[in-house]
């Protein structure tokens, strides 16, 4: 197998007791796993043994408690703050990437730049930042807002936020530190750079009080799939986590986003597109289907309706007939791309409200694959080879069992086909993903001056 | 020895290569320790083996780069973000408390409440928050301010910030989680409480998306010693880290702050006062003095002057004669208490500018004790027994050696005298410090209603 052969990238998207909304009721889940470090340590180590590129954590800075009857039937209301958790996981892992979601709407860029740089130093170059603008009113109300900031304003702020953070990451040149005891010079003052950013949303002087980190910049990940989201990703992201239902949809998205890169001077390989996959694995198709149905049977109708309401932008669907069609919904300020995805799905397959909530209860709009290790590998291979994906973010239905099955049954099948690594290529997340290490803008300026 | 006997509490105040400003030039320091996790893991484990109550990290969210010539001769410009570091240290320790400094001026209360609650869960109840308002203009310029917010405004915001954070920590009652697979009820919705805080500085709806943590509330620490700082501490703090030069000063402070507790319905024991101590230890006094002088000789004059300037509120002292007296300084917006402390010290002992910078180069206004293990234990015992202190925050001159010496030589001496524990009393920081676990305000309300 040639080293240059393109291979699948894999993320382990971890979530409490699993991605299926009723996973906590599954007899084999770690019932109180949401706030148990040993649960996550075990999961990260399973993924690392199988050579996953990264573990990934979503995040929300608030609880949507408007429907307590439904919420109290889920394990979704409390969990670790992801960066805190990943710092701890850095100690019990060696190679796997550590990607945390942090919102640009409810944080200050100096704090975010510093925390990811710290995690990158802690982990020897394995940190990644999933940059989100957050999509729920619930979160905004925890941060002094009377309502959620508008979509366009959030994206404008996010772009400037990214500029500030990456600027701060370049505060120190890579070779700033001399540490010569004899002369008493600890660092070269010419290699420390003050940012002096003054923009529409931020005034940040800098410099950052953390040295440039092993990866130069921690890997930047995004998940927004709206037009504004795609454009921001084409300009700034190195990985996109995205939800697709069909290969055709995935190919259109892939081509669209990769096509946007050129105007920012980037190569198609500089951005990895990784759709979410919700795998239910059986020795036979019937066994897989039975496993899936057993999970679906655990969903209380209140929970299904509330999930659907949340994912369609906060509209209350309880007043509509559960076995009737999805009504037309008003324009909302929530995440547009996911709303559109669900409407397209329901119209395409003529789904009732109940059908739809059962459909999204596991994968939340991502692709469900229910089958044997071979059939699942077939599908991943097809999506990968036909350029619908560079890799996949694996959303195990229940944990740890669902991840263990993927690691023991599907990963070896992908390896046999030469589609997935059998050993890590490098020591940093960037090296394993095949992403270039960004040069420091100031070091480049110096080189250009010297050459000019 | 009776269990009820009052004993000394000990914190290990860790800082890069050590507290002495020239520590990094000491031949036995870990030269690149500032961003090396293994360095801090070693330090925390040394402190834990000796039964210290906690490790403690100061913080600053910025670099004061106005005097680069001086700054570049120190190891102070870059270091880990403390909460990220402590999350990782929670994995390599079992009993020792983990206290991080986080500013109320440059953060949002929801994020702070969440991170400390997460660290408390990660560590099994060992987290502590050193609440500071930050005192440098340098930091403010990284967060959109044109100048540092005024002292009074910072303290007003800090008090409200503390209200919000502790309110969020009570979002969930301790027994909220049922997790009954059969009925499908994960938590009792009556035990989740929305904060709905609307104050002058913050509007925070809540609830927090992290369960109530093992300690109920992580331990709240403060370091401000101005009148506003003392009053805030009397109302809200459970530990105070403070700088004193003399026992008389320490006793006056101790009595004053403990006396302020009663009007907030608190007992004197509910707040532990822990002055910083900078110990230089030798087998003989001469050996200790020689060790200290060797460190002092490593201080470049630019570094000494810049340190003094920084600690007197940002005034440039380079235009004054280095061997002349400290001039009168204008009122500044910096940390008032430390400025006053340095002025009092210089006047009392008739120190020149050089004398003063040499004096603070190690301990930065805290007490330096240079002597044998017995003489250092004598002094700690006297301060403790005469009620100048409930314990001490040990600021080792260089690391790891200075901490190792304290652990191997001074701690056993304190233990022989029955002044310090030989085993941890409990599993949480709160239990080891002898602090009560706060009840949840909502659970109390329920009990009161039931009783009424």
Residuewise pLDDT in 10s, chain B (452 residues): 344 589 999 999 999 999 999 999 999 999 988 899 999 999 999 999 999 999 999 999 999 877 898 999 999 899 999 999 999 999 999 999 999 999 999 999 999 999 999 999 999 999 999 999 987 889 999 999 988 899 999 999 999 999 999 999 999 999 999 999 999 999 999 999 999 999 999 999 999 999 999 999 999 999 878 898 999 999 999 999 999 989 999 999 999 999 999 999 999 999 999 999 999 999 999 999 999 999 999 998 889 888 888 777 776 778 888 888 888 765 665 556 667 777 788 888 999 888 888 888 777 778 899 999 999 999 999 999 999 999 999 999 999 999 999 999 999 999 999 999 999 999 999 999 999 999 999 996 655 555 54
Strand partners, B394: B12, B277
Smallest Cα distance from A20 to chain B, Å? 14
pLDDT for the residue numbered A100: 98
pLDDT for the residue numbered B447: 55
* Residue A28 sits at the chain B interface (C-beta within 8 Å): no
Return the residue in A20, A76, A78, A198 with the most chain B beta carbons within 10 A, the one to mutate for interface testing: A78
Quick count: other Cβ atoms within 10 Å of Cβ A357? Answer: 24
Query: Is residue B204 within a helix (H) or strand (E), and if so which, with residue range?
Result: strand B203-204
Q: What is the pLDDT of residues B53-79, one digit of tens each?
A: 999 999 999 998 778 989 999 998 999
Of B35, B186, B207, the CB nearest to A121: B35
Query: Is residue A433 within a helix (H) or strand (E), and if so which, with residue range?
Result: helix A429-433
Test B188 with A72 for CB contact under 8 angstroms.
Answer: yes
**Residue ranges of domains in chain A, CATH in brackets:** 9-286+367-451 (3.20.20.30)
Q: Are A380 and A392 in contact (CB under 8 A)?
A: yes
Test B298 with A184 for CB contact under 8 angstroms.
Answer: yes
Spatial neighbors of B448 by CB under 8 A, at least 6 apart, are none
Cα–Cα distance for residue pair B67/B99, rounded to 1 Å: 30
* Residue B31 sits at the chain A interface (C-beta within 8 Å): yes
Helices (H), A104-150: 109-122, 137-140
**Residues 94-153, chain A, touching B (beta carbon < 8 A):** 106-108, 110-111, 114-115, 118-119, 121-122, 138, 141-146
Chain centroid to CA A158: 16
Q: What percent of chain A has pLDDT over 90?
A: 75
Q: Are strands A9-13 and A97-103 parallel, antiparallel or unpaired?
A: unpaired
| Token reading at B77 | 């410009």
Q: Are B192 and B203 in contact (CB under 8 A)?
A: no
Query: Is residue B342 within a helix (H) or strand (E), and if so which, with residue range?
Result: helix B336-349
Test B85 with A118 for CB contact under 8 angstroms.
Answer: yes
* Residue A302 sits at the chain B interface (C-beta within 8 Å): no
DSSP SS3 for B196: coil
Test A32 with B179 for CB contact under 8 angstroms.
Answer: yes
* Residue B91 sits at the chain A interface (C-beta within 8 Å): yes
Q: Are B443 and B174 in contact (CB under 8 A)?
A: yes
Test B181 with A208 for CB contact under 8 angstroms.
Answer: no
pLDDT for the residue numbered B329: 66
pLDDT for the residue numbered B1: 39
Cα–Cα distance for residue pair B211/B121, rounded to 1 Å: 9
Cα–Cα distance for residue pair B419/B414, rounded to 1 Å: 5
pLDDT for the residue numbered B451: 53
- Averaged over successive runs of 10 residues, the pLDDT of chain A (452 residues) comes to 75 95 93 94 98 97 87 93 98 98 97 98 98 90 92 94 98 97 96 97 97 98 89 96 92 96 95 97 97 93 85 77 80 63 83 87 83 98 98 97 98 98 98 97 69 49
Q: Are B173 and B440 in contact (CB under 8 A)?
A: yes
* Residue A189 sits at the chain B interface (C-beta within 8 Å): yes
Q: Are A90 and A61 in contact (CB under 8 A)?
A: no
Of A61, A63, A88, the CB nearest to B90: A88
Of A69, A91, A185, the CB nearest to B72: A185
DSSP SS3 for B253: helix
Q: Are B295 and B387 in contact (CB under 8 A)?
A: no
pLDDT for the residue numbered B3: 47
Test A118 with B194 for CB contact under 8 angstroms.
Answer: no
Of the candidates B158, B60, B127, B58, which has an alpha carbon nearest to the alpha carbon of residue A110? Answer: B60
Residues in chain B closer than 8 A to A212 (CB atoms): none
Helices (H), A262-388: 285-296, 301-311, 336-349, 353-363, 373-385
Buried b (16+ CB within 10 A) or exposed e, A336-348: bbbbebbeebbee
Of A114, A143, A172, the CB nearest to B110: A143
Q: How many CB pairs under 8 A join A and B?
A: 225
pLDDT for the residue numbered A344: 80
Test B84 with A119 for CB contact under 8 angstroms.
Answer: yes
What are the start-end ranges of the E strands in A140-226? Answer: 177-180, 185-187, 197-198, 203-204, 219-222
Q: What percent of chain A has pLDDT over 70?
A: 95
Cα–Cα distance for residue pair A382/A360, rounded to 1 Å: 23
Residues in chain A closer than 8 A to B211 (CB atoms): 35, 78
pLDDT for the residue numbered A165: 98
Residues in chain B closer than 8 A to A83 (CB atoms): 84, 87, 115
**Residues 362-401, chain A, touching B (beta carbon < 8 A):** none
Test B186 with A118 for CB contact under 8 angstroms.
Answer: no
Cα–Cα distance for residue pair A212/A193, rounded to 1 Å: 11
Q: What is the residue whose two structure tokens read 């029955």? A: B418
Cα–Cα distance for residue pair A304/B341, rounded to 1 Å: 63
Return the residue in B16, B33, B38, B87 with the most chain A beta carbons within 10 A, the one to mutate for interface testing: B87
Of A62, A69, A188, the CB nearest to B189: A69
Residues in chain B closer than 8 A to A136 (CB atoms): none
Rounded (10°) CA dihedral A360, A366, A367, A368: -40
Residues in chain A closer than 8 A to B78 (CB atoms): 172, 208-211
Residues in chain A closer than 8 A to B187 (CB atoms): 72, 77
**Residues 59-78, chain B, touching A (beta carbon < 8 A):** 60-63, 65, 68-69, 71-75, 77-78
Rounded (10°) CA dihedral B22, B24, B28, B34: 140
Tell me, what DSSP letter sits at residue B132?
E
Q: Computed over its alpha carbons, how large is the radius of gyration of chain B?
A: 22
Phi, psi (deg, nearest 5) at residue A247: -65, -35
Residues in chain A closer than 8 A to B23 (CB atoms): none
Q: What is the pLDDT of residues B208-259, one digit of tens each?
A: 999 999 999 999 999 878 898 999 999 999 999 999 989 999 999 999 999 9
DSSP SS3 for A242: strand
Of A37, A73, A111, the CB nearest to B122: A37
Q: What percent of chain B has pLDDT over 70?
A: 95
Residues in chain B closer than 8 A to A208 (CB atoms): 63, 78
Return the residue in B33, B186, B304 with the most chain A beta carbons within 10 A, the one to mutate for interface testing: B186
* Residue A329 sits at the chain B interface (C-beta within 8 Å): no
Query: Is residue B403 within a helix (H) or strand (E), and if so which, with residue range?
Result: helix B401-405
Residues in chain B closer than 8 A to A78 (CB atoms): 172, 208-211
Of B73, B121, B172, the CB nearest to A185: B73
Note if the bond before B300 is cis, omega within 30 degrees.
Answer: no
- How many angstroms separate the Cα of B176 from the Cα of each of A29, B170, B179, B188, B342? 20, 11, 9, 5, 50
Rounded (10°) CA dihedral B111, B116, B117, B121: 140
Return the residue in A30, A32, A81 with the most chain B beta carbons within 10 A, the one to mutate for interface testing: A81
Residues in chain B closer than 8 A to A202 (CB atoms): 144
Residues in chain B closer than 8 A to A62 (CB atoms): 110, 205, 209
Q: Are B237 and B132 in contact (CB under 8 A)?
A: no
The vertex-A356 CA angle with B180 and A384, nearest 5°, equals 100
Using H for helix, E for strand and C for coil, what is the string for B352-369? EHHHHHHHHHHHCCCEEE
């Amino acid at each position: 197998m040639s080293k240059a052969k393109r291979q699948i990238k894999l993320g382990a998207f971890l979530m409490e007791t699993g991605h299926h909304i009723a996973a906590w009721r599954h007899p084999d889940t770690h019932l109180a796993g949401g706030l148990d470090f040993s649960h996550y340590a075990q999961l990260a180590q399973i993924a690392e043994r199988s050579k996953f590129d990264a573990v990934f954590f979503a995040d929300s800075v608030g609880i949507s408690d408007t429907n307590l009857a439904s919420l109290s039937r889920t394990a979704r209301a409390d969990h670790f703050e992801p960066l805190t958790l990943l710092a701890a996981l850095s100690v019990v892992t060696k190679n796997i990437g550590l990607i945390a979601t942090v919102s640009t709407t409810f944080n200050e860029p100096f704090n975010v730049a510093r925390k990811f740089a710290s995690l990158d130093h802690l982990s020897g170059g394995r940190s990644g930042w999933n940059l989100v603008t957050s999509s729920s009113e619930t979160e905004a109300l925890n941060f002094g807002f009377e309502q959620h900031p508008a979509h366009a304003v959030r994206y404008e702020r996010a772009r400037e936020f990214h500029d500030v953070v990456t600027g701060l990451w370049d505060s120190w040149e890579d070779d700033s530190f001399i540490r010569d005891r004899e002369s008493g010079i600890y660092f070269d003052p010419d290699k420390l750079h003050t940012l002096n950013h003054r923009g529409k949303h931020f005034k940040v002087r800098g410099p950052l009080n953390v040295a440039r980190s092993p990866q130069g910049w921690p890997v930047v990940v995004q998940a927004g799939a709206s037009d504004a989201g795609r454009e921001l990703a084409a300009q700034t992201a190195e990985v996109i986590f995205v939800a697709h239902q069909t290969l055709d949809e995935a190919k259109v998205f892939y081509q669209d986003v990769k096509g946007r890169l050129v105007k920012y001077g980037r190569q198609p390989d500089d951005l990895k597109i990784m759709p979410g996959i919700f795998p239910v694995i059986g020795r036979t198709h019937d066994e897989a289907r039975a496993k899936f149905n057993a999970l679906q049977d655990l969903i209380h109708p209140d929970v299904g309706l509330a999930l659907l309401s949340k994912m369609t932008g906060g509209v209350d669907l309880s007043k509509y007939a559960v076995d009737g069609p999805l009504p037309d919904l008003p324009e909302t300020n929530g995440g547009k791309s996911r709303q559109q995805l669900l409407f397209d799905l329901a119209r395409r397959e003529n789904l009732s409200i109940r059908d739809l909530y059962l459909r999204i209860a596991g994968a939340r709009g991502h692709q469900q694959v229910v089958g044997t290790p071979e059939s699942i590998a077939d599908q991943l291979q097809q999506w990968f080879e036909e350029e619908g994906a560079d890799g996949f973010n694996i959303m195990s239905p229940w944990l740890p069992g669902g991840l263990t099955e993927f690691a023991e049954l599907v990963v070896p099948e992908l390896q046999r086909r030469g589609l997935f690594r059998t050993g890590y290529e490098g020591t940093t997340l960037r090296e394993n993903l095949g992403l270039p290490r960004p040069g420091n803008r100031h070091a480049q300026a110096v080189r250009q001056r010297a050459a000019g």
